[in-house]
Structure 1
Amino acid sequence: MIGSFAYAGTELDLNFIHSWNLSNTTQRDIDPNDDQAGETVIYNSEDLTEETAYLHWVLDNHSGLSPGIMVKSDDMPFKSNNCIMASGLEIPSENDPSVMITKTCSNYKGSSKRFKMVVTKADSPVDLIFDVAGKDFTWTEYPTYPQPGDEVARIYRVMQKFENDTAKRVQSFKVELGFTVGGIFTPVNPALDHIGLETRECIAVKLFDDAAGQGAPGDCVSGDFAEVWLENEFATFSPKMFSLITDSRTSPIGGFWDKKAAGIFPPETQTGLGFDVMLAEIDSGTAQVHGTIVGATTHNYFDISEGSDAGSIPAIPGTPFGYLMHGGIVPSGIYCDLDGDAATEGVLMAWWDGLNWRWGIDPVNPATCAADGSVGPDPFGVVPDATLVEWAVRPLDEQMVQTGPRYEQAPADDLRSLNVDTFIYLGKDYDRVVHPDFTLRLTLASVTDNTIAGTETPEWKLPGQEAPALQSYIGSDGIVALTAGLAGVPLDITVTDVDLNADGTQESIAVTLVNERTLESEEVTLTELDTNSPVFTNMLATVDNPVVGADNNQSLNVVAGDRIVVTYTDADDGAGGIDVTKTAAATILTPASTTNGDGGGGGASIGLPMTLLLALGGLFYAPVRRMIYGTDKP
């Protein structure tokens, strides 16, 4: 035994996980000018030749740093006191983003605590090695703890997210603890080695020095027990995709796909011991059989058209989604960025099923980019073409922040990613002289395509059924849009017109803006978003000044209430019209105003800024032509 009992509320030299051991890793894609730019590559061979996974350093809140994983011990506000999490120094405070706080286990939910591992090789172990050291631990709530026979240990919650980038579907996966010596992995013996995967749901709060009555009740008998392991949280999809409307992370909306959790759970154990003990491994396994589902994949992911709270949706073709998908077969999604900033995370609005763009289990309000949490009355309904056009004319610009909402088309990657929660028990009698480090091993077990139910080629990957580009819903009838804010805030100008995408270069067009009060005029050049886009965009600075400014000086003098008109000449409107004048108008807002439009608009609005709806004119009162089905334009 290392250390000794000190029956005065202190355990001397108690074992703790010191740090991630990088002996089987390398680093790549490092940018000396960006601390977050880089990846840590993990190998399962001592010669560092066989890559099995890598970790992103960058995180959603930009708090990530090398090497991607860090260990925190004795963070007392955290339920298990200790964790293995994404590495970083500081994060923005929850209540005041301008104030930075230390990155640690007990940070608020949604603060990028999970480390992001991309698994690149199925059926091959991914090994994370951790070094063990010793430091004292003092009980303040229970100053006489521990007494002879009392349990003394540190329990670490491992907070990770893995993405399946193996080019194979995953049927099950296994987490193991062991010791790696000379390249040979030997599983731990929890009873003899005093280390294991903790699967007890309830542990006396004294172990964590948590005040009596403060433990999470859950399945525990009282507040004097802390809730730790939960088998139904072993491996779950993002709560934004699948969760209850009462889930604190997504309330009151719940998940996009279903209003209950989904993932690979409950897992099986291969030791025959069951749960509520320490284990050497936790395996989701393939012994469970639920109808056509072999293994622990939940029904509401395996077949969203049958297994969700919405009941049977026979209109959805095929059997989406089957076993855990890889990045090459996830469906395409349309995402909304309410703030118009590509650096922030978008909200999934719709997905492509192979024939149609569909809402989630409840439609999303375009004005707020949020659903209402109710199921129906048309779950997974088809998104109208008119709505797709509204989204298409407001594309997200990767280089420039524009007035939101903005929309982009991207793979629904959350459908190939799982949040995994395991707990490592490190007892006081663990011998770190014999075992100065241990290995946490993750192995994904693949299933061969087109062999059993759930391995079929998805409908959206069949030839001719791939998702059409969102901008393909834009026709030859040019659309000009203008969005205004407060005086001093730039005007946001967009023109969408298929005819303007004439060649493979990044083209430009000219529009004219006029302040109707002063008649000051500015000609603005709009630039094509990329070399193959019908969308042209730019911004014009405004100055809070009632005096008439000079024409064409790259800014427009305005005050609250000024009406600005933009004019664009459409050379061919697709209906025989030549050199047709198109206009849009916007009114400069007054402080605390809640709309940036001129008012009116009637029933055409489904939530976009009124200025955009006015620019679209009668578009929503007539059938909309779909140009093509496919990603390439004619």
Structure 2
Amino acid sequence: MKVQPHLIFSALAITIAGFTTGSAIAAIITDWNQGNVVNSGPNGSGVYVSTIYNKPTSDGSNANTSGYISYTLLEGAAPGLKVVNNALPNPDELDPAPGNPVDNCIMAAGPSSCNGEFQSGKRFKLDQTAFDPIDLVFNLDGSTFATDNDGFYRMFQKYGNNTGVVLGGYTIGLGFGIGDDFIASGADDGLSFIDFGFNPKESEFSSLFSQGLFGTDTRRDRLQGYFSAERSGFDLAMVTEDLFQTTGLFGGAFGYEALFSNWLSYSMVPDGYFYDDDGDPLTEAILMAHYDKASGQWIMNRALDADGNVLTIAEGNEGVAFATQMDVENELILQAANLNLAACINGAVPPVACLAGVGTIEDLAKFNVTYFTNPQAFSFADSFVDNDLAYTAYRDMATFTLRITARVVDVPEPGVLTLLLVGLILLSQRRIKEYIKGNSAQV
């Protein structure tokens, strides 16, 4: 059987095992430890933020941050992330994606559940703002699960680039404590990633850009991705048993790397023209065209039929080109001849299909990350309370840290840049001398 290139690396789960001698008791992740988190908001757009710092703090003083978790009250709740135990599957709300249902998860705070409907807001939104690690600390206790609970936690994470520069990928590692006090998990210390095999399901282990931009949903009647019918995302590989990282992008001729090179920041993503097919502001509008900076044109990869149904007509930058966004808008109005398309009006009754206009294509700066944790084998022997390794930052309870670090795009070392500059100067001087010599010989 031929294995797809982006699935050749192993899928992962996290296991927390005993650090000391003594009998092991199944460990339950109780909640997100916010000893290094400050909550604020809402801002003018109704967004709340839980800022993550590199030291324990109540107001951010004497500490630095490289990221935050954000949410709105439309689909989320404070503090933006929650741990769910014994999420008894409800057959009426199961996501039909492979690998579900799950018994436990770490997800966005809010009304959705581990096994909630597709696109029900399950992923917590983590944005990277600087280049130091983001440390998420989780509390543990020695409770036991019911016999029919497998003890696994599915991680529903969305990861965005808000650094202002392109990024080359990321690493996710395990350890204890935060910031300068962080101690990485070592070999055979009881904390490690576990190999699930060489052909994981996307719902088990993946790092993928929005399927609305790249991919084809074979399980649901949905449009193929705007830029490509092929999925695009990051390849993943083990570095050690306690660390995995991205190893590059995949996606084919119209994949993310082919179109945008590296992972863009929010401030760098192109504008798009959007169409709201149901007039509901709570559902996502459909991307119809994008602005291509290289050509200075608007490219339309989708079109409308006379009744306003969306059609895919091209991929990548191969769609119909228009000089302005107004030309795109006029074309959509002409195509949907049976509708009277106009700009969307908030609170329209009844809601009707409308033109949502121009906005940034935010999903080009963020993607979904999925993996599992399994803390069943954590040891709560009496001697564990004196284990400084596990209590580096938080001495009042057992914790572990999930460390997420952005990887900047590789650039030549300063010495290499200096050599290149010297070489260019010498080459220029040589060509100037040859030019003068040649002209002198003709006099």
In the superposition, the TM-score normalised over structure 2's length comes to 0.70
Structure 1 residues 568-624: Cα deviation after superposition (integer angstroms, max 9, x where no partner): xxxxxxxxxxxxxxxxxxxxxxxxxxxxxxxxxxxxxxxxxxxxxxxxxxxxxxxxx
Which of 116, 124, 134 is residue 142 of structure 2 equivalent to?
134
Amino acid at match of 2:291: W
**Structure 1, gaps ≥5 residues long:** 6-11, 91-102, 142-152, 203-218, 221-226, 272-278, 286-295, 301-305, 310-317, 452-634
Residue 37 (structure 2) pairs with residue 25 (structure 1):
yes
Structure 1 residues 109-133: Cα deviation after superposition (integer angstroms, max 9, x where no partner): 2111000112211x31011110001
Residue 417 (structure 2) pairs with residue 405 (structure 1):
no
Matched residues in 2 for 1:398 and 1:391: separation?
A: 20
Instruction: Kindly state the Cα deviation for residue 281 of structure 1 after the two structures are TM-superposed.
Output: 0.9
Which of 444, 468, 474 is residue 406 of structure 2 equivalent to?
444
Q: 1:396 aligns to what?
A: 344
Amino acid at match of 1:410: G
Q: 2:161 aligns to what?
A: 164
Structure 1 residues 336-377: Cα deviation after superposition (integer angstroms, max 9, x where no partner): 1123344432111110113221123x54557445335x768x
Matched residues in 1 for 2:345 and 2:305: separation?
A: 22
Q: 1:39 aligns to what?
A: 49
Q: 1:320 aligns to what?
A: 259
Structure 1 residues 192-213: Cα deviation after superposition (integer angstroms, max 9, x where no partner): 32x33343149xxxxxxxxxxx
Which of 116, 121, 126 is residue 117 of structure 1 equivalent to?
126
CA gap of 1:125–1:259, structure 2 versus 1, over 3 A, is same
Amino acid at match of 2:377: K
Secondary structure in 2 aligned to 1:320?
A: helix
Residue 192 (structure 2) pairs with residue 196 (structure 1):
yes
Structure 1 residues 116-159: Cα deviation after superposition (integer angstroms, max 9, x where no partner): 112211x3101111000122223259xxxxxxxxxxx7221111
Amino acid at match of 1:357: W
Matched residues in 1 for 2:178 and 2:265: separation?
A: 32
Secondary structure in 2 aligned to 1:268?
A: strand
Q: 1:253 aligns to what?
A: 223
Matched residues in 1 for 2:155 and 2:332: separation?
A: 39
Q: 1:87 aligns to what?
A: 109
Amino acid at match of 1:337: D
Say if 2:128 and 2:161, in contact at 8 Å, map to a contact too. Answer: yes
CA gap of 1:404–1:124, structure 2 versus 1, over 3 A, is same
Matched residues in 1 for 2:186 and 2:234: separation?
A: 26
Residue 249 (structure 2) pairs with residue 297 (structure 1):
yes
Secondary structure in 2 aligned to 1:166?
A: coil
Residue 213 (structure 2) pairs with residue 241 (structure 1):
yes
Q: 2:421 aligns to what?
A: none
Matched residues in 2 for 1:320 and 1:162: separation?
A: 20
Matched residues in 1 for 2:289 and 2:202: separation?
A: 36
Higher relative contact order (CA 8 A, sep 6+): 2
Matched residues in 2 for 1:391 and 1:229: separation?
A: 36
The percent identity for this pair of structures is 23
Matched residues in 2 for 1:24 and 1:68: separation?
A: 14
Q: 2:283 aligns to what?
A: 344
Q: 1:484 aligns to what?
A: none
Secondary structure in 2 aligned to 1:191?
A: coil
Secondary structure in 2 aligned to 1:57?
A: strand
Residue 151 (structure 2) pairs with residue 154 (structure 1):
yes
Which of 357, 361, 377 is residue 428 of structure 1 equivalent to?
377
In the superposition, the TM-score normalised over structure 1's length comes to 0.50
Secondary structure in 2 aligned to 1:389?
A: helix
Q: Larger C-alpha radius of gyration, 1 or 2?
A: 1
Residue 297 (structure 2) pairs with residue 356 (structure 1):
yes
Amino acid at match of 2:232: A
Q: 2:80 aligns to what?
A: 68
Say if 1:257 and 1:308, in contact at 8 Å, map to a contact too. Answer: yes
Matched residues in 1 for 2:88 and 2:197: separation?
A: 19
State the Cα RMSD in Å.
3.7
Amino acid at match of 1:196: S
Residue 36 (structure 2) pairs with residue 14 (structure 1):
no
Q: 2:310 aligns to what?
A: 370
